Amino acid sequence: MNIHRRPISAVSVAAAAVLGLLALSACSGASENTSGDSKGGGKLKVTAAFYPLEYLAAQIGADHVAVTDLTKPGVEPHDLELTPKETGRLGQSDVIVYLKGLQPAVDDAVKLSGVQHKVDAASLTTLESHGTEVDGTHHTTGDNGAGGDSEEGAGADPHIWLDPVKYAEVAKGVGKALEQADPANAAEYGKNTDALVARLTALDTEFRDGLKNRASDTFVTTHAAFGYLAERYGLVEEAVNGIDPESEPSAARVKALHDLVKSKHVSTVFFETLVSDATAKTLAGDLRLRTDVLDPIEGITGKSKGTDYFQVQRSNLTALRAALGAK
Ligand SMILES: [Zn+2]
């Protein structure tokens, strides 16, 4: 019996191998044709921590990726909490794109996820800490660096995406990560990355030109999200709150802002779309200043002035030009 069994099992192994090959080729053939597959069948599963990273992954990955955003639209991404279900689902990703230091709960979950392709956007460009010097003290609040990993430097400003040049650097890194995770579509990821970087370079030129002939340099905003943007174009950001938009300013800070508004001829107090604007409105009311929206693009909602990163950035440019008297 044994003598007979051996060849049979050898045949069945061979048959299984052939069937396996058939199944494999059928599968890859199917994935090329099923663009309408909603469950991400055959697509690279990318989890992005919040909107600007989701946007990069979706633009670069196009039809080859199914992107999930951990931060739902309208939710403020700083200090996002994850449910156990979301943490579990993170482990099913092919690629995770996050920004270390912005969302400590996400940082922890990423570390434990076991996912091979993880991209930390903070590692793709240079992070700095941005303080606003008003009353002689370095005004950086926020929880960044406090209690969390301090490898990236305490108080590092995470808002790199608001500078088109830094965002382009992050785009290149995300493109490379997709190429590594899915070599079959590497050429297309490379092409899409180049196209996105070209659009960001054009946006940088629009900001540079649009802010060239301005009457003043200083703008006041609720949430210290525009430090990189300010630095790129030679502006000065004075934030009512710190890097964490939900912190409250001290009485001393409010007094300092009052003085600064007068000495720097500030016309406008900017607030944002995802967080309560009560503090900014009070300040503006007390000082008889205009209010306007400067959007940190941490999420797109029905209230956003535009439906994607580029549209909202152009709205930001228009608002800054008006506030700074640019011609
Ligand atoms: Zn922020």
Q: How far is the CA of 42 from the centre of ligand 1 (A)?
A: 34
Per residue in 37-84, pLDDT (tens digit) is 444 578 999 999 999 999 999 999 999 999 999 999 888 898 899 999
Write out the two tokens for 269. 């107090």
Full domain range(s) for residue 149: 44-122+129-204
Q: How far is the CA of 105 from the centre of ligand 1 (A)?
A: 16
What is the per-residue pLDDT for 252?
84
What is the per-residue pLDDT for 162?
98
CA-based end-to-end distance of the chain: 94
The pLDDT mean for the chain works out to 82
Q: How far is the CA of 140 from the centre of ligand 1 (A)?
A: 13
Residues 49, 155 within the same domain: yes
Residues 229, 292 within the same domain: yes
Q: How far is the CA of 314 from the centre of ligand 1 (A)?
A: 18
Q: How far is CA 146 from CA 4, 156, 316, in A?
A: 71, 10, 30
Cβ atoms of residues 318 and 268 within 8 Å = no
The answer to whether residue 33 sits within a structural domain is no
pLDDT of 325 higher than 80: yes
Q: How far is the CA of 156 from the centre of ligand 1 (A)?
A: 12
Q: How far is the CA of 296 from the centre of ligand 1 (A)?
A: 6
Q: How far is the CA of 120 from the centre of ligand 1 (A)?
A: 17
Structure-model confidence comparison of residues 279 and 85, the more confident one: 85
User: How many Å apart are CA 25 and CA 80, to the nearest integer?
Assistant: 41
Q: 26 falls in which pLDDT band (50, 70, 90)?
A: very low
Q: How far is the CA of 19 from the centre of ligand 1 (A)?
A: 52
The answer to whether residue 39 sits within a structural domain is no
The answer to whether residue 87 sits within a structural domain is yes
User: How many Å apart are CA 163 and CA 229, to the nearest integer?
Assistant: 5
CATH number at residue 88: 3.40.50.1980
Domain count along the chain: 2
Contacts of the segment 13-19: beta carbons below 8 A, 24+ positions apart: none
Q: 148 falls in which pLDDT band (50, 70, 90)?
A: very low
Residues 139, 174 within the same domain: yes
Strands of the sheet containing 65-69, edge to edge, are: 65-69, 44-48, 95-98, 117-120
Q: Which residues pair with 119 in a beta bridge?
A: 97
Residues 227, 107 within the same domain: no
User: How many Å apart are CA 291 and CA 294, to the nearest integer?
Assistant: 10
Write out the two tokens for 288. 């008889």
User: How many Å apart are CA 316 and CA 211, to the nearest integer?
Assistant: 11
Q: Residue 56's closest CA among 154, 164, 140, 208? A: 164
Residues 198, 51 within the same domain: yes
What is the per-residue pLDDT for 275?
62
Q: How far is the CA of 243 from the centre of ligand 1 (A)?
A: 6
The answer to whether residue 34 sits within a structural domain is no
pLDDT of 133 higher than 50: no
Per residue in 29-46, pLDDT (tens digit) is 333 333 334 445 789 999
| Residue where one domain finishes, among candidates 204, 219, 246 | 204
Per residue in 237-281, pLDDT (tens digit) is 998 876 665 667 788 888 888 899 989 989 999 988 666 667 778
Residues 188, 62 within the same domain: yes
What is the per-residue pLDDT for 18?
44
Looking at the chain, the whole-number percentage of residues with pLDDT higher than 70 is: 77
Cβ atoms of residues 71 and 97 within 8 Å = no
Residues 73, 101 within the same domain: yes
Instruction: Give CA torsion, residues 200, 204, 207, 209, to 10 deg.
Output: -130
Write out the two tokens for 211. 């802010």
Q: 106 falls in which pLDDT band (50, 70, 90)?
A: very high
Residues 234, 142 within the same domain: no
Write out the two tokens for 171. 């785009």
Residues 144, 252 within the same domain: no
Write out the two tokens for 299. 């999420």
What is the per-residue pLDDT for 17?
45
Residues 151, 287 within the same domain: no
Residues 156, 220 within the same domain: no
Residues 100, 226 within the same domain: no
User: How many Å apart are CA 37 and CA 39, to the nearest integer?
Assistant: 6
What is the per-residue pLDDT for 130?
81
Residues in Cβ contact with 306 at an 8 Å cutoff, skipping those fewer than 6 apart:
300, 312, 313, 314, 315
pLDDT of 291 higher than 80: yes
Q: How far is the CA of 248 from the centre of ligand 1 (A)?
A: 14
Q: How far is the CA of 35 from the centre of ligand 1 (A)?
A: 35
The answer to whether residue 115 sits within a structural domain is yes
Per residue in 1-21, pLDDT (tens digit) is 443 433 444 444 444 444 444
What is the per-residue pLDDT for 254?
82
| Residue where one domain finishes, among candidates 204, 226, 255 | 204
| Residue where one domain finishes, among candidates 185, 204, 223 | 204
